[in-house]
Chains A and B, each alone.
Chain A
Amino acid sequence: MLADFLIGFQNALHPMNILIMSLALAGGIAIGTLPGLSATMGVALLVPLTFGMDPATGLLMLGAMYTGAIYGGANSAILINTPGTPSAVCTTFDGYPLTKQGRADEALFTALVSSVIGGVIGTIFLLVATQPLALVSLKFGSPEYFWMAIFGLTIISSLSEGNMIKGLLGGVLGLLLATIGIDPVTGHSRFIFDYRPLIGGITLIPAMIGFFSFAQVLTLVDENQKYLAEYSPNKGVIGKVFGHMLKFSKKNLLRSSLIGTFVGILPGAGGNVASFVAYNEAKRWSKNPETFGKGEIEGVVASESSNNATVSSSLIPLLSLGIPGSPVAAVLLGGLLIHGLQPGAKLFIQTGDIAYTFIIGLIVVNLLMLFVGFLGMRLFAQVLNVPSHYIATIVIVLSVIGSYAIRNNLFDIVIMIVCGIIGFITLKVGFEPGPIVLGLILGTLAEEGFSLSLLMAKASGSMFDTFVARPISAFLIFMCIMAIVSPIYVRVKKSRKNKLENA
C-alpha cells in the first residue's frame, strides 16, 4: 500500500502527466465556462481518446477534464448569469449580482479558490476514507432518497423569500416537467400526448440551458443594454479575496466541502444537489442571511466549494464498490473496464499503483487549477467588455450545440428553446428559474424514491417501518421539519422583538 502510494505520487508528478492534466484542465474549464457545454458532455467526448492511452494517464485526463468543467461553470454563472454546468446554478444567485456591482473579478477569484479547496477536501476523503464512506452510501435506500429529495425541496422556501407563492409554483412546474416520459414503476408512457419524441422525458441539461442561458439571452435582448455590466480590473483582488476568506469563510468552506463530499458519494445525487444544499446551509448559518441573493461572496463560496467536492467523492462508490455514482463515473467505469481494470475493492489490491496515481493526481489537478484557472479568469472577464448583442448570439449558438450534444438528439434543442421561452416569460412576471430547475432535478429522485418505497412498504406490511423507522430517514425528516419551522420561528421572534422595541 505504501509502495503503491509512493509510485502513485511519482507518477502523478511525472512532467508528461502534468502537461496532459493541464491541457485537459484548460479544456475542461473552457467547456465548463461555455454555456451549454456541460461536464458530462466534455468527459463523454474525451473518453474514446483515453482508450488508446495507458490507464493512469487516461484516468487523470478524464479527472482533470471533470474537475475543470465543474469549476468552469462558475465563470459564465458569474459573468453572464448562465451556469455553464448544472452544478453552477447556485453560483448565479450571488455571482451575477456581484458582477453587476462591478466586483466580477472578486467573485471569479473567490469561485476559483473555493473550487480548489472543495476539490482538495473531497479528494482527501477519497484518499483516506473510501471504504467507510462507501458503506455509508449503501445505507441510502429508496426511502432515504425520497426524504433527501423532500429536504432538497424545502430549499425553495429560502430561495424565494418574500416571493413564496411564486417560488412554490415554480417548484411545482419543475416537478411536473419531471413526470413526463416513462413511468418508473409501470413502464407506461405518460404526459407525452401522443408525441413520440417526449418518451425520453425532459432531461435536466437541455431544460437548464433553456431556463438559464436561453432565457438570459432573451432578457439581454429585451433590456437592450450595450454592456452586461461595468467592469474594470480591480487592483489587489487576490489579497482582498484571501483576506476575506481567511477571516470569514473558514467555517463555510469546511461545511460546504463536507456537504459536497457527502452528497457526492450518493449515487443519484450529484454536484447540482450538493450546491443547492450547501448554499442553503450557508444562508441558514450566516449572520446576514438577507444579503444572500444580492451579491454575497459567501454564496459563491458555498456553491463552488461544494460542487467541486463532489467531483472526487462521486468516485468513491466506483473505486470501492464498482458502482458508478454519477453519469461521469459511469463513463469512467467504461474506461476502467476497457483497460482491463476491475473497479471495486480489487482495484486497490491488484492495481494499487494506478488507483493511487489517479487519486493523488486529482489533488495535483486541483492545485494546477489554481494557476490554469487564474490565467483563464483574466481572459473570461473580458467578456464584460464585449457588447451584449455579440454575447447573446454566441450564447444561443452554444446553447443549441450543448443541448444537442448531450444525447445527440435534435429534440433536446426543442426542449431547450421551449424551456427558454417559458423561462423568459415567467421571469418577466417574477418567477425565478432556480425553483423550477430544483423541482426538475429533485422530481425524478423524489418520485422514484417514493414509488419504490411504497413497494417496499407493501412487502414489509408497514408504512411506518419503511418510511420513518430507519435512522437516516428519521434524521432527514427531522431536517425537513426544521427547515420549515425555523424560518417561521425566526420571523415570529423578530416581529415580537420589533413590537417590544416599538412599544
Chain B
Amino acid sequence: MNKKLIAVLLIIGFLLTLGLAGCQKAEEKQQDGGKAEETYPSKDITVIIPFTAGGSSDVQARIVEKYFKEEFGVNMIITYKEGAGGEVGFTELAKSKADGYVIGGLNVPHIILQPLARETEFNIDSFAYIGQMVNDPQLIAVLKDSKYNTLQELIDDAKAKPGQITLGNVGTFSGHHIASLNFMNLTGTEFTLIPYKGAADQIVALQGGHVNAIMGNLNDVMRDLDKYKILGITTEERHYLAPEVPTFKELGLDMTQGITRLFAAPKDIAPEKLARLKEGFENIAKNPEYLKDMEKIGQPEEWKDGEKVYDDLKKEVETATKLLEEYDLLDKK
C-alpha cells in the first residue's frame, strides 16, 4: 500500500515539475571549471542514453541505476538523446564537458560503423571507456516450421540460389549488417539483406513469414524461444542463456559477433575520476542482485574493463573496414 501512496505523491510531484520544466536548465550549469574537487562524485551524474525510453539500452541502464546510488552515493540521472541509430546521443557525449558528471551509454559496433559509413563528429577515440556491461551475441534464426534445420542447410540452399534467400537485418551499417556481411563473406554465399527499421519490425517480419531467416540478437528472440529454430550463435562457447544452440565455431565458421553495451565518459576526463567510475561500475557488474536482475530482463551480461574494451575496439575497426571495403560500402570522402 505504501508504494501506492508514494505513487500518488509522485504523480502530484510530476505534474508540478511539468509546470516548472520550462525554467529548468539541466546542462552546463557548472562554470567553475578547473577547481579541484575533494570528493568525486559530489553531485548527481547524468547518463546519456542514445535510444528511446523503454528500449533495451534504457532497460539495462535502469538496472544499473538501481545500484548506482548505493555505489557512488549520488543519483544517476538518465537523459535520452535519441536519433539516427544512436548517432545523436554518441555525438552529444563526445562533445560533453569532461568534468565527470556526464557519462553515457555506447553501443558497439554502432560507434565503429557510423564513422566508417558517413562523416560523423565522433569516433572511437572521442571517449574514455569505463567498461562493457552487456554482450548480446548475434545469431541466425528461422521460424519453427522452416525447412532449414541446420545452418549448413541454409548455407547450401543459399549457394544453390544466390540472392534468392532473404536475411533480415536491423538497419544498414548496424551490428546486424556487419554480422551478415561477415557471414556471407566467410561462407561465400549471397543473401538479399533486408534492413528493417528496428528489432520489433524484424521479429514481426520473421513471425509473419515475410523473410526467410534473420540475423538477430539473442535478447530479441529470447522472449519466444519456442517459436524459432536458432541455427547458430556467434559466441566463443555455447551461451549460458541458450545452451542447446551450437556456435558458429563448432560449425566451422570463425566468427564471433555481438552487440555490446558500454559506458564511457568524454575523452578528457581526469584519470582519477575515470578510475573511480571504473571501480564503481565493476562493483555493480559483479553484484549478485544486479546479475539476477539482468537475467530477468533477458540481457546477456559480460563485464569487460575499459582498457580491454578500447583495445578490442581498435581491432574491430580494422576488421570492419576490411569487410566494408570488400563489399564496396565505405564512405568515399
Contact = CB atoms under 8 A, between A and B. Distances in A.
Interface of A: 16-17, 19-20, 23-24, 27, 30-31, 37, 44-54, 57-58, 61, 137-142, 181-189, 196, 199-201, 203, 267-268, 317, 321-325, 327, 330-335, 337-338, 340, 342-346, 397, 400-401, 405, 407-409, 448, 452, 455-456, 458-461
Contacts of A460: 164
A181 B4 contact: no
A17 B201 CA distance: 34
Given A187-B173, A338-B62, A407 B80 contact: yes
A334 B166 contact: no
**Of B21, B54, B81, most A-chain CB atoms within 10 Å:** B54
Contacts, number: 194
A345 to B, nearest CB: 8
17 contacts: A49-B7, A51-B62, A57-B3, A139-B208, A181-B84, A185-B195, A187-B171, A200-B88, A268-B197, A321-B204, A322-B203, A323-B207, A331-B52, A334-B59, A346-B223, A459-B164, A459-B166
B307 interface: no
Given A20-B11, A182-B85, A200-B84, A330 B22 contact: no
Interface residues of B, number: 67
Nearest to A142: B210
Contacts of B171: 187
A30 B15 contact: yes
**Of B11, B63, B196, most A-chain CB atoms within 10 Å:** B11
B74 interface: no
A138 B207 contact: yes
B184 interface: no
Contacts of A346: 223
A53 B3 CA distance: 6
A449 to B, nearest CB: 11
B319 interface: no
A185 B297 CA distance: 30
B271 interface: no
Contacts of B165: 459
Given A267-B201, A323-B200, A323-B203, 20 more contacts: A30-B15, A31-B18, A44-B52, A44-B80, A47-B53, A52-B6, A52-B7, A53-B3, A138-B209, A142-B194, A186-B172, A188-B117, A201-B83, A322-B203, A324-B54, A334-B54, A338-B297, A343-B223, A400-B22, A407-B82
A407 B86 CA distance: 12
B82 A54 contact: no
Contact of A141 (B53, B79, B118, B210): B210
Given A45-B14, A57-B4, A199-B87, A409 B81 contact: yes
B270 interface: no
Contact of B223 (A61, A199, A340, A342): A342
A16 to B, nearest CB: 5
A335 B54 contact: yes
A137 B326 CA distance: 38
**Of A17, A19, A24, A138, most B-chain CB atoms within 10 Å:** A138
Contact of B208 (A37, A138, A184, A409): A138
B296 interface: yes
A53 B205 contact: no
Contact of B52 (A188, A323, A327): A327
Contacts of B4: 16-17, 20, 53-54, 57
Interface string B119-141: 00100000000000000000000
Contacts of B54: 44, 47, 324, 330-335
A397 B11 contact: no
B10 A49 contact: yes
Contact of B172 (A31, A185, A196, A322): A185
B163 interface: yes
A346 B226 CA distance: 11
A267 B10 CA distance: 31
B207 A452 contact: no
A346 B194 CA distance: 29
Contacts of B81: 407-409
B65 to A, nearest CB: 9
Given A137-B204, A141-B205, A331-B52, A61 B83 contact: no
Nearest to A461: B164
A140 B200 CA distance: 13
Contacts of A54: 3-4
B112 interface: no
B12 interface: yes
Contacts of A51: 62
A334 B201 contact: no
A200 B22 CA distance: 24
Contacts of B209: 138
A187 B3 contact: no
A455 B8 CA distance: 51
A279 to B, nearest CB: 27
B80 to A, nearest CB: 6
A459 B163 contact: yes
B193 A455 contact: yes
B3 A52 contact: yes
Given A137-B204, A330-B55, A334-B58, A456 B194 contact: yes
B224 interface: yes
B86 to A, nearest CB: 11
A184 B296 contact: no
Contacts of B174: 187
Nearest to A44: B53
B192 interface: yes
A345 B172 CA distance: 31
B210 A322 contact: no
